[in-house]
Amino acid sequence: MTKSGLIESVAERTPHISKKDTEIVVNTIFDSMSQALKSGERIEIRGFGSFQVKVREAREGRNPKTGEPVHIAAKRTPFFKVGKELKEMVDRVPVENVSDEESPDGGAV
């Protein structure tokens, strides 16, 4: 699902709110979540999951083309941990109903 698909879905479920207002609400939610993560806050949505920022320490890597060592700087990266209810809901779908596009490795299921 894309952001525009999410806006469409919310707009269909809330006919008393205009599509433009729905878009503003969805954008406000995402902006608020982004700002919270940027400031180091943890976001928890019960039944869905939690978002937090994890620090990846600086390390030495290798250029895959040349094999030369490369310094990789420390960075902060968003991390999502799925909630128990969402995990159970997704797991209820039989594996044979999942298409190739939805497969995590992109291959046949």
CA–CA distance, 26 with 14 (Å, rounded to integer): 13
Tens digit of each residue's pLDDT (9 = 90 or more) over 38-49:
999 999 999 999
> If we measure between CA atoms, which residue out of 17, 41, 92 comes closest to residue 8?
17
pLDDT over 70 for what percent of the chain?
88
Number of neighbours of residue 22 by Cβ within 10 angstroms: 19
Residue range 77-103: mean pLDDT, rounded: 82
With a cut of 80, say whether residue 105 has pLDDT above it. no
Quote the mean pLDDT of the chain: 90
| CATH architecture of residue range(s) 3-61+69-97 | Irregular (4.10)
Question: At 16, which helix (H) or strand (E)?
Answer: none
* pLDDT for 109: 42
Tokens in use for 64? 């895959």
Domain ranges of the chain: 3-61+69-97
Please determine, for residue 71, whether its predicted confidence score (pLDDT) is greater than 70. yes
